[in-house]
């Protein structure tokens, strides 16, 4: 079944289309859930909540833009909602702490499994911000609005997450390339 048929079928309540939707997009949605949620059981619960939410609200998709992009946005929002339910007030005000890293153009050359392994080890507030900024492409203002923190808190949290990455990978002897004006400035692990 083609994407357009799945969408129109789900909008009309067709059970077969809903089944194809679940079969087609579950692994994509679950991958996003696991990037945000450390515990597998909670990520699976979030997957179920997201699938149900999308099927209930699919009429809100106006077929402008990519369907996967819309699914991704809904999934990120459901993950954040799930995390908030699980653990209230995971963010603290960090505006007053110094921000050591100002250049936000760090390219990590790592295998997917290495990244996922590391992401599972960092605290939730850092994992959420790094996913939203680096993976999903949200701006610091958007992150702040969604999470209820200031834009500068988002920047500080991302900066601290990057420090954690650098420290962790320095210990693993993994190369992290810091690019500025297409020049390699720093090689970590040597």
* Shared domain check, 169 and 130: yes
- Domain ranges, residue 76: 3-86
96 lies in some domain: no
Number of domains the chain is built from:
2
pLDDT tens digits for 159-168? 888 888 777 7
- pLDDT at 24 > cutoff 90: yes
Could you tell me the pTM of the whole model? Answer: 0.59
* Shared domain check, 128 and 69: no
162 lies in some domain: yes
* Shared domain check, 74 and 8: yes
Q: Place 17 in a pLDDT band, splitting at 50, 70 and 90.
A: very high
* Shared domain check, 19 and 70: yes
pLDDT tens digits for 82-116? 888 876 544 443 444 444 333 333 334 445 566 66
* Shared domain check, 111 and 82: no
Q: Place 171 in a pLDDT band, splitting at 50, 70 and 90.
A: low
* Shared domain check, 112 and 76: no
Q: What is the pLDDT of residue 107?
A: 39
* Shared domain check, 119 and 79: no
Q: What is the pLDDT of residue 16?
A: 95
CATH number of the domain that 136 lies in?
A: 1.10.10.10
* Shared domain check, 120 and 62: no
- pLDDT at 151 > cutoff 60: yes
SS3 for the chain is CCHHHHHHHHHCCCHHHHHHHHHHHHHHHHHHHHHHCCCHHHHHHHHHHHHHHHHHHHHHCCCCCCHHHHHHHHHHHHHHHHHHHHCCCCCCCCCCCCCCCCCCCEEECCCHHHHHHHHCCCCHHHHHHHHHHHHCCCCHHHHHHHHCCCHHHHHHHHHHHHHHHHHHHHHHCCCEEEEECCEEEEECCC
């Amino acid at each position: 079944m083609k994407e357009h048929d799945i969408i129109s079928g789900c909008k009309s309540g067709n059970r077969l289309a809903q089944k194809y939707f679940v079969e087609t997009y579950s692994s994509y949605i679950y991958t996003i859930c696991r990037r945000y949620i450390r515990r597998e059981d909670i990520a699976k619960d979030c997957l179920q909540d997201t699938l149900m939410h999308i099927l209930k609200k699919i009429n809100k998709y106006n077929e402008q833009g990519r369907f996967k992009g819309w699914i991704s946005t809904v999934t990120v929002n459901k993950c954040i909602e799930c995390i908030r339910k699980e653990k209230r007030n995971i963010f603290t005000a960090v505006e007053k702490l110094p921000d050591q890293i100002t250049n936000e153009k760090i390219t990590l050359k790592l295998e997917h499994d290495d990244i996922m392994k590391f992401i599972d080890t960092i605290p939730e507030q850092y994992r959420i911000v790094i996913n939203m900024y680096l993976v999903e492409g949200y701006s610091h203002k958007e992150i702040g609005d969604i999470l209820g923190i200031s834009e500068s808190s988002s920047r500080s949290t991302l900066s601290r997450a990057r420090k954690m990455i650098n420290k962790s990978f320095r210990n693993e002897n993994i190369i992290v390339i810091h690019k500025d004006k297409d020049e390699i400035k720093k090689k970590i692990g040597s």
